[in-house]
Structure 1
Amino acid sequence: MKSVVLKSVAALAVLVATTAVPAQELKIGYVNSDRVLRDALPAKAAQAKLEAEFSRREKELTDIGNRLKAASDRLDKDAPTLGDAERTKRQRDLVEQDREFQRKRREFQEDLNMRKNEELAAVVERANRVIKQIFDSEKYDLIVQEVVFASPKVDITDKVIKSLNAQGGK
């Protein structure tokens, strides 16, 4: 019985609250975070910085992988003419080289991911400051970033990108 009374009071409170609110429209905006992280100058600058920072190591890994593949192909070609001891020795060497290559590749990927997260976090922080400035200056009631559907009339992504670009790619 108490529960029915509480539900009735709650429903009445909601009804009173909705009718008492003046007919005022909410100002809502939507920001496509993926587009900001792809198209804004600071995001592009961060990507270029990462490429410059990691391109040498990536090339070294590619070279090591190519040499390892060539050595494996050579072993496959030479295997029928090799003695058991020599074939076993070369197979062990290849396994050890491959293990070292895999370790270096994992370290590279971990380093790259860590730096990418650092750079993206800095861009996201800047974008959030810009979104907050737009929110305050244009008197928005709500700005969302993750939605299923959004009308182009509430999409403020271009404003955010333009404002970020105006600040420069630093």
Structure 2
Amino acid sequence: MKKSIIVPAVLIIAAMFTCSAFAADKAKIGMISFEKILQESSAGKVMQKDLKAKLNELQGKLQAEEKKVKDMSAALEREALVLSAEKKLERQRELRDKADDLKKMNSDYTQEMKILQNKRMNQIQKDVFDIANTLGKAQGYTLIIEKKVAGVIYAADQVDITDEVIKEYNSTYAKNK
């Protein structure tokens, strides 16, 4: 008699636990596009403007140095016939040194731009991740992914919360500025 009561009771209890597991909330997934945030957010636009200004400044310096090298080359060509062999070799060496300096300057400026861009991108990325974490907790998201990094091939528009993140980021950026 005891066995006939215990078996159904265990089955009923097991069924209750199984039903509650199947009744769990549906996963809420969000997706953001960091690329779109860089293009449309206030901070992204300021970053692009600053990087463009810095690039123009560095290109101006490079062009000035390039002009000096061209002028030296033209002067050497004009004076080549009247210069002594020793003076001519000295000027050619100076010209090669200036050309090498120009190449090094170009390389240094390229590296400087990459470092500046990475620094600014990392700061924006950190800010966006903080905002996404806050939004995720506040709105009950199970998962928020970045579109490009996650390799998303298709996502419904309902899952894209990029505009919401941009709106929040713009307000946060305006307060901090």
Q: Which residue of 2 aligns with 1:160?
A: 165
2:66 maps to what in 1? Answer: 65
State the AA in 1 paired with 2:168. Answer: S
Unaligned runs of 5+ in 1: 1-16
Q: How far is 1:124 from its partner?
A: 0.8
Match of 2:30 in 1: 29
How far apart in 2 are the matches of 1:159 and 1:34?
14
> What's the CA shift for 1:131?
0.6
The offset of 1:53, in angstroms, is 4.9
Cα distance, 1:81 vs structure 2? 4.2
Give the equivalent residue in structure 2 for 1:9.
none
Name the CA shift for 1:166/1:85 in 2 (closer, same or farther; >3 Å). Answer: same
**In structure 2, the residue corresponding to 1:143 is in which secondary structure?**
strand
Give 1:106 shift: 1.8
1:89 aligned onto 2:75 = no
Q: Distance in 1 between matches of 2:137 and 2:69?
A: 58
Q: CA separation in 2, counterparts of 1:129 and 1:159?
A: 13
Alignment partners' CA distance in 1, 2:167 and 2:78? 61
The TM-score, its normalising length taken from structure 1, stands at: 0.73
RMSD value, Cα: 2.8
1:142 aligned partner: 143
Structure 2 length as normaliser, TM-score?
Answer: 0.71
Q: Which runs of 4+ in 1 moved over 4 A?
A: 51-55, 79-87
**Alpha-carbon distance in structure 2 between the residues aligned to 1:78 and 1:168:** 58
Aligned length: 152
Q: Secondary structure at the match of 2:152?
A: coil
Q: How does 1:1-170 map to 2 (within 5 A)?
A: 20-22=21-23, 24-53=25-54, 55-72=56-73, 75=76, 78=78, 81=81, 84-145=85-146, 146=149, 147-149=151-153, 150-168=155-173, 170=177
Following superposition, the deviation at residue 27 of structure 1 comes to 1.0
Gaps of 5+ in 2: 1-17
Bigger Rg, which one: 2
Identity %: 23
Measure the CA separation in 2 of the matches of 1:73 and 1:135. Answer: 64
In the aligned structure 2, how far is the partner of 1:82 from the partner of 1:157? 69
Q: Which amino acid aligns with 2:169?
A: L
